[in-house]
Structure 1
Amino acid sequence: MKNNLILLLLLTLGFSSLQAQEIPKEERLAWFKDAKLGIFIHWGIYSVDGIDESWSFFNGYISHEDYMKQLNGFNAKKYEPKEWAELIKKSGAKYAVLTTKHHDGVALWDSKAGDLNVVDKSKAKKDLLKPFVSAIREQGLKLGFYYSLLDWSHPNYPNATREQKRYEEDAKRWNQFVDFNFAQLDELNQYHPDLWWFDGDWEQSAEMWKAKDIRASLLKATPTTIINSRLQGYGDYATPEQGVPVYPPHDEYWELCMTMNNSWGFQHNDKEYKTSNQIIRILVDCISMGGNLLLDIGPKADGSIPKEQVAILEDLGRWTNKHEKAIYGTRKGIPKEHFNGYTALSKDKTILYLYVDNKPNGPLLIKGLKNKINRIWVVGNGTKLSHKVVGKQYWSSVPGLLYIDVPEEVQDKDVTVIGVLLDGPVDLFHEEVRAIESN
């Protein structure tokens, strides 16, 4: 009997250990690596006056009191989350990330952890998060929550503005704030988001935030969820911001978050929108380096999306729908020494995709490709293209120059995509070219 009890105890401990073990990162992030495009949504009371979200009062451009007056104008009367989700789906995005709470502390849901939320304090008088979650799920999109760790409005958070502190060291007040953060995260956990997008971690250490415990609590609630890098070392993927990387980030998993104009939230006077062509080319740049683009929109205070942003998402959708085979599930392309432009590879590396973002002056050129070519076609319409290998010498191991003709009539108005089917996984020549010894 005693031996049976010991065996049962050991089995129970082993099961508990398995329960506590994280799902491997590569499994949790598999969908993210395939997704390539997501939509960021910065929506909050800052859209009322069209000012910088949270930073405007933190930097002293406006008083905190005047900033909070925007609660009276935040009505969300034209908020149609189903239309949002349909537009996001139409753009070709595979996931969406909403600012549930920015640094100003205003929650978009009916938070019971504090009353600074749109239900208790704003003119909207309703939970804006719950219908968004339902709409995103209905479209089959992955759900992401942005959450600011810091809260410049909370009475127990040490920093109020860049110049003003509420206190220097007060363990009791700090612990109360940490408890508040965990309470809000527990409220959000009920929706089991696929992705957590933290921000504001720079003001405190991992130990102060209890970042390790935050990660554990999120994964306990949703074992498959993924976490961005802004959790003081406890995240899963890198998040470069605004500037397109010149070289791929060291992290295998990454996304570039970028605005359509120069503002995250809606600003009436910011009309400096990037063109659809520029955004498509930025997306291609990210894809070629193995990353994602998280493209931002900023709805107005009434919940409507500015017409300029709608037009860009629709243009983007035209291109992504046409070229989906060369976008989703692809992997980082070949070095630019081999092709003077953007490229990507299929998962099995047997298809090389060439992204042509200009009008070629003659045939495209690929150097150092050792594979034989089975077929070359225009992605999106299937037109077969002719090709020719030039300069291959029978006595040399150096591959010849592969030229591909791309007639003008098959070229896309933004970025043309060419598929090159190889006879096996891509094989590139990397040896040093030597002088002729015998021929």
Structure 2
Amino acid sequence: MTKKDYITVSTGVSGNLDANNDKVNDQWRQLEYGMFIHWGLYSVFGGERNGIAVKKGYSEQIQMWDDIPEPEYLEAAKQFTGENFNPKKICELAKAAGMKYIVITSKHHDGFAMFDTATTDYNVVKQTAFGKDPLKLLADECRNHDLKFGVYFSLVDWHQGHEFDENNCNPIPASMEPVIVQQLEELMTNYGEIAEVWFDMSSPTREQSIKFANIVRKHQPNAAINSRIWNNVGDFRTLNDNQVPEQTLDGPWQTPASIYHETWGYRRWQERNDFSKRVRALIAGLTSVHARGGNYLLNIGPRGDGSVVEFEEEVLRAIGAWLNSHPHAVIGAKATIFGEQKWGEVTLNNNNLFLHIINIPTDGTITLSGLATDVVKVVEDATSRSLEWKMDHNTLTVTMPGDLEEECVHVIRVELAGPLSVIPKNTITLNAGTTTTLVPDHFSFGRGFADRGSYFTLYQTTTRLTAFIAGDETKDIHLQIKGKIQDDAVNYQIQIGETSKIVTAGQLLESKIGPFPIKKNAITTLTIRLAVPNYQEEDLKLEFDSIVID
């Protein structure tokens, strides 16, 4: 067996990351980038109580962090005027920022419903000076602006009986289920088409998670449900707040992001400075998430009067201006199998690669290894100015000019002669007449996240094993796998090239599996995954030591 930095093959493998999802998730993935809005009674407080800053916890949870009795908390409703809440301007801002949809809080942990509900008088219509249903106003305006609409819904509800819990992992007693069910029924039937339902916190049973999800799917079959409905029942995985994963993840996923990581709800005393650095960091976050296959949901926290904080508006407009100067580099672009580079990220749009230079190398040289498709030209994306470049043994080297036109994240556009083809760095050559042993270092691991029913039980899973093999002759091969399986009841799918075989857990470790045809001078992908996972991020439950190929 040999491992080479440069392998002579007639073709590589597709460099486009395969989404491999159902209709709902395919539609949801196309939303790509949206606006999150945290607006409620907490917005009136603005992170303060009686003029004193409350510096513990997120400001949208100020009632818990400063132990505010509900009667005192409800007094804020008199100041909740919403006089400057302008759904039309919010939608115009979302469009200017390059966003495709809006998700707004229908009810946060305080249990104060920000919509017209028959379940309780503890709501925005009955209690506030505003006296209107902001969800209805915003949903209608989203349709006028060709924006999709979504709702946030907390499963923690202090008004309905949950005690303050700093981890917000309260179980849901049976006595609270009827209110949750009726509120979900109202949200799913009174606001037109909903694209995303964003559940949050608590620790429901699996039966409760399924029950709540079924309400959504009954009334809004095209709505994608996030994973914070828990027990792995959702359609897409919501990562931790502001989390950018270290690598590309299998399955659909989303990063919820805030302009300031300290809070989501309006905070009057929040320091708003270093505008350029903030914009750059958020663009880097959006780009990194998108380049690794995720969606990005960026939050604003309006004041109690409904006005958008000017700094937040300027940040969103600056991000939108950057996206406009790179119209094909992020929105509409796809993730690739290149993964993160030392200098930044890579996206793909048709036959164009976009190199996002987040960390400019000190020598001004950008390298990208494993590119099998011929390059036509390399340009600075914002200006189309030609750049100096060369190809050597499937490695592209680009020299960055000293007079870069932008102050933010720089983008290089690489025009390819055809569809992206890649020679993965771990490609292994099978030598004629010999056996080849693959060990874990030869594989890339598909990753995901799963949970055991709450926020603090989130754990990483291995969903797939993938290796790339190149043969120096056309032949049939067989596999013999050595390792341990944690669940004897599961079946596995082994796919090599276009040939797929289903085997039991016992057969996986006890039998020689094959034959699988491979072609001469071509890279063939070997993948092992669960044949029928219970949910899309389920762990393989396989600890393998080696795979012998003969």
Q: Scaled by the length of structure 1, what TM-score is found? A: 0.81
- 2 CA distance for matches of 1:279 and 1:25? 28
The equivalent residue for 1:231 is 229
> 1:137 — aligned with what?
143
Q: Which has the higher helix share?
A: 1
Q: Distance in 1 between matches of 2:348 and 2:249?
A: 19
Q: Give the structure 1 partner of residue 364 of structure 2.
A: 362
Change (3 A) 1:121 1:377: same
1:415 and 1:148 map into 2 onto residues whose CA distance is 35
- Could you report, residue by residue, the CA deviation over 1:401-425 in whole angstroms, capped at 9, with x for unpaired residues? 4222333445322112122122332
- The answer to whether residue 184 in structure 2 is matched with residue 178 in structure 1 is no
2:401 to 407, 414, 419: 407
Look up the match of 2:202: 201
Instruction: Report the secondary structure of 1:275's partner residue.
Output: helix
Pairs aligned (count): 388
Match for residue 297 of structure 1 among 291, 300, 312? 300
Contact 1:41–1:98 (CA under 8 A) maintained in structure 2: yes
Residue 430 (1) aligns with residue 429 (2): no
In structure 2, distance between residues paired with 1:162 and 1:220: 32
Structure 1 residue 238 displacement after superposition: 1.2
Q: 1:219 to 1:123 in 2, by over 3 A?
A: same
SS of residue matched to 2:218: helix
Q: Where do residues 71-220 of structure 1 align in structure 2 (5 Å cutoff)?
A: 71-154=77-160, 157=161, 159-162=162-165, 174-190=173-189, 191=191, 192-202=193-203, 204-207=204-207, 210-220=208-218
CA distance in 1, matches of 2:334, 2:287: 12
* Contact in 2 for aligned 1:339/1:366 (Cα 8 Å): no
C-alpha change, 1:153 and 1:357, in structure 2 (3 Å) is same
* Structure 1 pair 429–185 and aligned structure 2 pair: CA distance change class (3 A): closer
Aligned with 2:158: secondary structure?
coil
Contact 1:36-1:327 within 8 A present in 2 as well: no
Structure 1: how far apart are the matches of 2:233 and 2:427?
42
Instruction: Please tell me whether residue 316 in structure 1 is matched to residue 346 in structure 2.
Output: no
> Aligned match of 1:418 in 412, 420, 425?
412
- Compared with structure 1, are the counterparts of its residues 247 and 100 closer, same or farther at alpha carbon in structure 2 (3 Å cutoff)? same
Shifted more, 278-287 versus 401-410: the winner is 401-410
Judge conservation of contact 2:347–2:354 (CA < 8 Å) in 1. yes
Distance, in Å, in 1 between the alignment partners of 2:342 and 2:242 is 23
Partner of 1:18: none
SS at match of 2:116: coil
Cα RMSD (Å) of the superposition? 2.6
User: Shift in Å at residue 60 of structure 1?
Assistant: 4.8
- Paired with 1:279 and 1:219, the residues of 2 have a C-alpha distance of 33
Counterpart CA distance in 2 for 1:366 and 1:243 is 28
Partner of 1:8: none
In the alignment, the residues of structure 2 paired with residue 243 and residue 302 of structure 1 have an alpha-carbon distance, to the nearest angstrom, of: 27
- Alignment match of 2:390 (pick from 388, 391, 407): 388
For the Cα contact (< 8 Å) 1:254–1:291, is it kept in 2?
yes
Alpha-carbon distance change, 333 to 184 in structure 1, aligned in 2, over 3 angstroms: same
Quick check: 2:60–2:266 contact (8 Å CA) kept in 1? no
1:42 aligns with 2:43: no
Aligned residue for 2:69? 63
Equivalent in 305, 310, 321 of residue 307 of structure 1: 310
Question: Is the contact between residue 107 and residue 154 of structure 2 (CA under 8 Å) also seen in structure 1?
Answer: yes
| Deviation of the 1:83 alpha carbon | 0.3
Deviation for aligned residue 1:338: 6.4
CA distance in 2, matches of 1:65, 1:359: 54
Tell me by how many angstroms 1:201 deviates.
3.3
**Residue 369 (structure 1) shift:** 2.1
Preserved CA contact (<8 Å) 2:43 2:60: no
Give, in whole Å, the separation in 1 of the partners of 2:77 and 2:329.
44
Question: How big is the shift at 1:281?
Answer: 1.2
Distance in 1 separating the partners of 2:80 and 2:250:
39
Secondary structure of the corresponding residue to residue 123 of structure 2: coil
- Kindly indicate whether the alpha-carbon contact (under 8 Å) linking 2:302 and 2:309 is maintained by their aligned counterparts in 1: yes
366, 370, 373: which one pairs with 1:371? 373
Identity %: 29
Structure 1: segments with no counterpart, 5+ residues = 1-23, 393-398, 435-439
Rate the CA distance shift 1:54–1:413 in 2: closer, same or farther, 3 A.
closer
